[in-house]
Amino acid sequence: MEKLIERERATRNPLVAAPALAVQFFLIPLAVVAVTVAVYFGFRSMLADARSPQDYLTEIRSGGMARQWPAAYELSQLMDDPKVRGDRDLAIALVKTFDEAKDGDPRVRKYLALAIGRLDPPLPAEAISVLVKSLDLPEKPWAPDVWSRINGWTAEMNEAHISTIWALGASRDAQVVPRLQPLYASPDAGVRKMVVYALGALPGDVQVVTLRTALQDAAADVRWNAAIALARKGREGAAPVLRQMLDRQYVEQTVKRDVRQDSDEDPVADVLISGLRAAAALKDESLKGAVTTLSEQDRSMKVRQAAIEALKLMDQHG
């Protein structure tokens, strides 16, 4: 009888029962959730992998408004794949779809322009003319009654315009320079910034006058892009602006974005590093002191490393 009582007490011992309860009320439900999530993401990845660039183009052409721009975005993300970038048939279809989208959602044109700009050269023969023609689109699409109900419509139109300018700069076709230069007169600093960037990426020297003018722009980003572009072309006049880009205190006062703790993004460091690379390309000895200071004193290890590399290049040039 005593043995039965002892056995019963042992069975009811909470320390012994705890693992069983944990399995029953925690581990098993957790396992079910884990399996469910795995199955969901497995099916989602299978569906995503099954969609080809042509599938996205079809959805852009025939899908509803709520589906067109996400398809354009997904298509632009596929350009990370070298096989997609080098597909000549896709390139032709992409340019045609961009042209067909001129009267629709500007978000579609924005992402399609980004995709076109990432195609492997040479671009299809009609690509440049289609992109240039889109710069002349009216300020509003043909259906203002629809677009007036969409918040941020003006911003989306502007971003589509900027993406098109970027794509023209990425084309490496010097013939677009005369078409882009007048756009520097835009009152929008974002447009001017991208125009200067595109002009700097394009070959030739015709745009040097515009780039030097941009060194005096009211917007710091525009001045910085102009200085970097001139430095890469080995042209004089960029040193004073580059010196500002190498001054951490000045950059911190100018760049109003904070460093995010959950990411590696540091906009101040990005400006400093861009200035360092441009200084190395310019081969200007007057910038060497600022570069040396950053290599020895800057609190960012990324900036210090970039400064050390810039000094090596400047010493080689010297």
Whole-Å CA distances, 82 to 56, 57, 275: 17, 18, 30
231-260 pLDDT per residue, tens: 999 998 999 999 999 999 999 999 976 555
Enumerate residues 6+ apart whose C-beta is below 8 A from 137.
102
In the prediction, which pLDDT does 104 show? 87
Is 146 within 8 Å of 175 (Cβ atoms)?
no
- For the cut 60, the answer to whether the pLDDT of residue 300 exceeds it is yes
C-alpha span between 189 and 243 (Å, rounded) = 22
Residues 224 and 211: their CA atoms lie apart, in Å, by 10
Helix (H, G, I), strand (E, B) or coil at 19: helix
Model confidence at 21, in pLDDT bands (50, 70, 90)? very low
DSSP string spanning 89-113? HHHHHHHHHHHHGGGS-HHHHHHHH
pLDDT at 20 over 60: no
Question: Mapping DSSP to helix (H, G, I), strand (E, B) and coil, where does residue 12 land?
Answer: coil
The structure tokens listed for 79 are 């350009």
What is the pLDDT, as a whole number, of residue 23?
Answer: 42
Tell me the pLDDT band of 157, cut-offs 50, 70 and 90: confident
What pLDDT is attached to residue 221?
95
Question: Prior bond to 122 cis, omega within 30?
Answer: yes
| The pLDDT of residue 40 is above 50 | no
pLDDT of 269 over the 50 cut? yes
Tell me how far apart the alpha carbons of residues 111 and 125 are, in angstroms, rounded to a whole number.
20
User: pLDDT at residue 9 above 80?
Assistant: no
* Mean pLDDT, the chain, integer: 84
Among the ranges 6-20, 25-39, 168-182, which has the highest mean pLDDT value?
A: 168-182
Confidence of residue 26 (pLDDT cuts 50, 70, 90): very low
Instruction: Specify whether the backbone of 262 is left (phi greater than 0), alpha (psi in -120 to 50) or beta.
Output: alpha
pLDDT-derived band at 88 (thresholds 50, 70, 90) equals very high
Backbone angles phi, psi at 145, to 5 degrees: -65, -30
Q: How far apart are CA 155 and CA 203, in angstroms?
A: 30
CA distances from 79 to 94, 173, 200, 221, 224 (A): 12, 20, 23, 27, 28
Q: CA-to-CA distance for 49 and 59, rounded, in angstroms?
A: 16
Residues sharing a CB contact under 8 Å with residue 263, sequence separation 6 or more, in sequence order: none
